[in-house]
Amino acid sequence: MWTSLAAVIGAAMVGVVLFDAFETILLPRTITQGFRLTRIFYLATWRPWAALGKRLPSGSFREHFLSFFGPLSILMLTGCWALGLVVGFGLLQWALTPERHAGGGIGAGIYLSGNLFFTLGLGDVSPHTRITRILAVMEAGLGFAFLASIISYLPVLYAGFSRRELLVLRMDVRAGSPPSAGELLRQHGHRGDARDLDDLLRVCEAWAAEMLEVHLSYPILCMYRSQHRDQSWLATLTTLLDTCALLIVGVRGIESKQAPVTFAMARRAMLDMGHIFSRVTTEDPHRPDRLPPGELTRLRDLLSDDAALEPGSKADVKLNRLRATYEPAAHALSEYILMPLPPWLPSAEHAGRATSAAEVLFEEQGATDVSVI
């Protein structure tokens, strides 16, 4: 009876781990919320890590601590997979030849399994029956394949991270740090380069689409943080949506045909990534308003000379309607992964810093193409 139960449990453990590793590493997937070992692992590890991070004083030390979770979780998850396979195969080895391991019990079967999985070749414990020898060959081959898959997984993961960060860094020059829609529009309105802004929005549309695809395939990348405290993929995506919303409502001197298309793509990316973590994406009256009436007035004053916003209550209502389609998801993601949302206006500390660098570049080189930066 016990051997049968051990065999069933061992086979189930091996099957669950193999399917979970296959789905996580190799299978491009859509948004699913079913039972998955990786999902349970991240729910169990991120919550205490985030709770500890919240207790740390805000600043570079806290951000540095939170940045460790993404890479470290991959090592921990790999260890959990390896442990599950070793224990599962060990239970099968013990269940199929219990008399051979009478001296060591289940522990001897697990020890044999670890020997085979990591190809140690110590030889002090070995399989003796035909079926256990077949099982041993299968496990040894699986160990090689498992390690090879992990090794090939990491370059793909970090390539996706590097491509994502390119636009995050480019927005530092164009929208400040932290980025803001007000600074981005002010720069382009000051230079009068509406065509350049449309070029940038086309690049942003492709960036949002690629980021969504990569994050769906590798959700752990959502936890990977940018190298600078005031930058993040979430802040860049939110700034992009803020900018497109203002352009859709109306900005004097900047008529963008690309803004609605980029807004639709970026909004889909925001909503789908909210669903990845099962975050509530509906309005919450307890959440702070990112653009209260006073801030909107300041934003109008900031852009009054270079790129004035469409005046009137109808424009304000339209802007609020657009904001309601993505801000709940942005707030939910921000609260869960502890990445602050960007302001609508440039902060006093960073105001004009990005502008001066961009203006020097454009004046010296006469640059009008988005690829220059």
Which phi and psi angles does 309 have, rounded to 5°? -80, 155
Residue after which a domain boundary falls, among 74, 98, 128: 128
CA dist., res. 243 & res. 197, Å (int):
10
Residue 185 lies in a domain: yes
Question: Are 119 and 196 found together in one domain?
Answer: no
Our count of domains for the chain comes to 2
Dump pLDDT digits (tens) for 139-159.
999 988 888 888 888 888 999
Beta bridge partners of 251: 254, 309
Pairwise pLDDT comparison (352 vs 304), residue with the higher score:
304
Phi, psi of 280 (to 5 degrees): -70, 125
Residue 363 lies in a domain: yes
344 in a structural domain: yes
**Which long-range contacts link 282-289 to residues 24+ away (Cβ below 8 Å)?**
282/328, 283/324, 283/328, 284/328, 284/331, 287/328, 287/331
Q: In this predicted model, which residue has the larger pLDDT, 267 or 124?
A: 267
Residues 181 and 104 in one domain: no
Q: Are residues 73 and 207 in the same domain?
A: no
Is residue 143 assigned to a domain?
no
Tell me the three state secondary structure of residue 14. helix
Residues 40 and 108 in one domain: yes
Domain extent for 295: 168-372
Task: Tell me, yes or no, whether 163 lies in a domain.
Answer: no
Which residue's entry shows tokens 């395939």? 217
> Most distant CA pair in the chain: distance in Å?
87
Q: Are both 122 and 185 inside the same structural domain?
A: no
Q: 14 lies in a domain?
A: yes
Is this prediction's pTM over 0.75?
A: yes
Mean pLDDT of 189-194: 60
For residue range 24-65, what is the model confidence (pLDDT) as tens digits?
887 766 555 555 788 889 889 999 999 999 999 888 889 999
Q: Pick the last residue of a domain from 103, 128, 153.
A: 128
Whether 211 and 80 share a structural domain: no
